[in-house]
Structures are given as C-alpha cells and as structure tokens.
Amino acid sequence: MKLQIEKMVYGGAGLAHPTEGKGAAGAVFVPFTLPGELVEARLTEKKSAHEEASLLNVLSASEDRTTPGCKHFGECGGCHYQHANYTAQVNVKTAILQDTLEHVGLTVLPKIQPRVGEQWGYRNRTRLRVEEIEGTLRVGYNQRGSNQFLAIQECPILAPLLWHAAEALLTIGADNSTVGRWARTMSEAEFFTTADEKKLQMSVFIQKKNQPGFSQFCDSMKQHVPELTGAGSSLIPPKSPQRQVQKPRPLEDWGAKGLTYQTTREDYWVGRGNFFQVNRFLVEQLITIVTEGRRGQLAWDLYAGVGLFSKQLAKEFQQVVAVEAAGTDLTNSFRGPGKLAVEATTVEFLRNAVVQRERPELIVMDPPRAGVGAEVCSFLARIAAPEIIYVSCDPITLARDLKMLAQAGYNIVELHLVDLFPQTFHLETVVILRR
C-alpha cells in the first residue's frame, strides 16, 4: 500500500492513515520513514490501536533523508533515526515531546529548548552479546524486533575506546590458548569508560561457573587495552520455568571495583555496573541546566544515583539530602557538612518526610523510565516545595506525572530537550516546575 507519512511517533516510526483499501482510516506505523514522505509499505502486524508495516520503497523522499552512518542500520535494534540528518532528528524529537505533553492536556507550555552535542561516538557504555559462530568469536547486539544475535563490525555511536576493547576481546578469543578458551565461555561483555577515555571498566557474563582463567584473561585484555583499570565476572542464571528475571551472581573481581568519572565541576565514583548518564559530551550541560543559579537552605535529590546533581547542589545549599535505593556508592562518597545520603526508595523517604512535615526549597528527581508515579506525586503535592526539577528519559511517563503535578498547583516554566541519545528515538527532558 502507498502511505503519506504525517509525523513521527515515539518509538521511531512514522505515522500514516491509509485512504483506501483494507485498513483505511486506521493508523499505520512505518519505521525508517520521515514526515512528508510518500512510501510503499506492507502491513505486518495488527495491534489494538494501530497497525505496523515494513517499508518497501520510498517513492518521494524528504529533504532531511540522509545516508546512515553505520552499515548495520536497519538490521540492528539499537538505532532508529540514522536515515535522518541530525537537525531533523532533533526537530522530530521536539515535536514528539510537544505532542506527548499536549495529548494529556498540558497545553500551556513554554517553548522547548533543545540541547545538543556530538551525534557520533558519544556513548560511554555498551553491553555486547558474545557468541562463537562457525568457530569465530563475534560481538553484537539483538536484531531489530527480535532476540536473535546480530554480529557487528562497527558501532559508530560508541566512544572509540569501547569498540577498541571489543576488538581486543575478539583478538584474545581467536587464540587457542587457555585465555582464548576462557574468552569463548562468555555470553556478554559490558564496557564503561570515562569522558576522556583514559579509564575503562569491564564486566563479563558467563553461563557456567567454575571456569578458571578469568584473571589471566583480564591481564591479557590489559596488554591490549592499557586503559583497563578493573573487571568483574558474573554468572547468568538459567531461565526459570516461571520466567522470573534473576540478577547475575558476582563471581570474581580483578583490579579496581569502579572508576572516578571526572567532569570540570566534580568527580564521581561509579561502581562497576552502576548507573551513570550515557552521553559523555552532554553530562556537564545536564548538570548546568539542573543546578545553575539555584541556592538556599535545603534541597532534596531523589533517585540520586551516584550524586550527579547532589554534589553540585551541595556547593550552594546549606543542606542537601540525596536519596537512592541502591545507594552504596552514594553513601560512601556523599559525606561531610551539609551532605546527607539516604539509602531508601523515594516513596519510603517521602512518606516519612510528610509525617515530619519537612519542606525543602528545591526537589530534583531523575527517576528510571517508569517515572515517579501517582504515590510520589501525591506526596510531592502535600510537601509543596516551591520548585521541582524533573529529569526524565521517557516522555510518556513524564506527561502522566506532569499532569498530576499540574493538578497539584505546579506550573511548567521551562522545558529542555537534552539529546543524550542521538540516532535513536530516546530523548531526555528536563522540566522546571514552580508553584
């Protein structure tokens, strides 16, 4: 069928409405298209609210269409927008954010301010699948739309050191020595580097325990990648019949258990495997948007992670309370006068704060993709801090939460789209709310 692409939707596809034939008037999502394009597509799947189609041919291309920067684009599940020039990608994300917020009734909005950086080589972390194919060790990701392994030869959104480490792993795995045989036992490998690519952490995952040779493997990796400062191995448990997701079980350590991630403002200790913002070029701009010009007596940093915002806020507030459920790194590093690290869930912390009738001047929150939810929003409404800064990586859950906060008397005064994930449909938003 021929389709005119009207706009992009969150998830990476273009939206069209067929004008004739089967499915007329229903919404159809077509990946790898751009607004204004006339395309030929084939229906592939019917969902409850829309149908999905695969792109067969672009009959009339957008001026924004460009040549993808990676040979695996389209087949790999990682990137979604490499067929669009970068300016168009940012415009698409801005429109999606605007539409998503307006869809829930948030129509009085400030102009969205896009914040951008380098579009390639930005990722400071990757997790690769490792498989032996016809006697050769390969690394890769999932094929688009499936769990099938896709061996890759490049990944241009990674910091160069990460791909260099992946190539070193393959070089070692090609050897028939003890170290090479150990490399071939792993099923996944994760690499994390500092912004300047001077330090590297490695996590490897195996499916069978009692595999000797991990330390020798790390020594060999260090010879190929001198930036490697530490590594750990973990056992991935077999899938249970109940399909319960079980966490990998740590086995062995080698070297340092984390690294110090330096910015021009602060140093952050990031334990191996712990969360840190993935874009090595925009971390400092994100900190600036959230903390610049803010000062006072008391600030709370909820879902604080390693203290990305807490440490900067502590320079201007008399007391900063940083709250993190997995707070081992935070409690070890966020210490001293005016600094309090609380290892608790945000719900637990706020429930107690409501009882104690505590009221900070500023609340910063950077939740995971699921957002903060109704219970947290109800507590925030009762606490009624003068200013809330909401950092979100999912516009759908953000819109849901912002509507509840708006009903509680908060106004959205600033909207920043921080493009931490170029070439993909993912986007980061910073929202400034005041009462």
Task: Give me the CATH number covering residue 377.
Answer: 3.40.50.150
- Spatial separation of the C-alpha atoms in residues 145 and 162, rounded to whole Å: 25
Assign 385 to helix, strand or coil: coil
Per-residue pLDDT of the chain (435 residues; tens, 9 = 90+): 999 999 999 999 999 998 765 545 589 999 999 999 999 999 999 988 899 999 999 999 999 999 999 999 999 999 999 999 999 999 999 999 999 999 999 999 999 999 999 999 999 999 999 999 999 999 999 999 999 999 999 999 999 999 999 999 999 999 988 899 999 999 999 999 999 999 999 999 998 877 789 999 999 999 999 999 999 999 998 776 655 667 889 999 999 999 999 998 899 999 999 999 999 999 999 999 999 999 999 999 999 999 999 999 999 999 999 999 987 888 888 999 999 999 999 999 999 999 988 899 999 999 999 999 999 999 999 999 999 999 999 999 999 999 999 999 999 999 999 999 999 999 999 999 999
44: domain CATH number is: 2.40.50.140
Token duo for residue 173 = 């795995």
Look-up: residue for tokens 């998830």?
Answer: 11
* Structural domain boundaries enclosing 173: 125-262
| Strands 411-418 vs 112-115: parallel, antiparallel or unpaired | parallel
Long-range CB contacts (< 8 A, 24+ apart) of 144-149?
Answer: 144/74, 144/75, 144/76, 144/77, 145/77, 146/77
- Report how far Cα 171 is from the mean position of its chain's Cα atoms: 29
Residue 94 inside a domain? The answer is no
Residue 90 lies in a domain: no
If one counts the domains in the chain, the total is 3
For residue 73, being part of any structural domain is answered with no
d(CA 32, CA 53): 11
What's the pTM? 0.94
**Whole-Å CA distances, 26 to 20, 58, 62, 139, 432:** 10, 21, 23, 40, 37
**Is residue 57 a part of any domain in this protein?**
yes
Contacts of 432 (CB under 8 A, 6+ apart): 387, 388, 389, 412, 413, 414, 415
> What distance in Å separates the CA atoms of residue 247 and residue 240, rounded to the nearest whole number?
12
The answer on 286 and 427 residing in a single domain is yes
174 vs 37: CA distance, rounded Å? 46
Q: Does residue 273 lie in a domain region? A: no
Query: In sequence order, which ranges of 242-338 are alpha helices (DSSP H)?
Result: 283-291, 310-313, 328-333
Contact (CB, 8 A) for 404 and 418: no
Within this chain, do residues 197 and 306 fall inside the same structural domain, yes or no? no
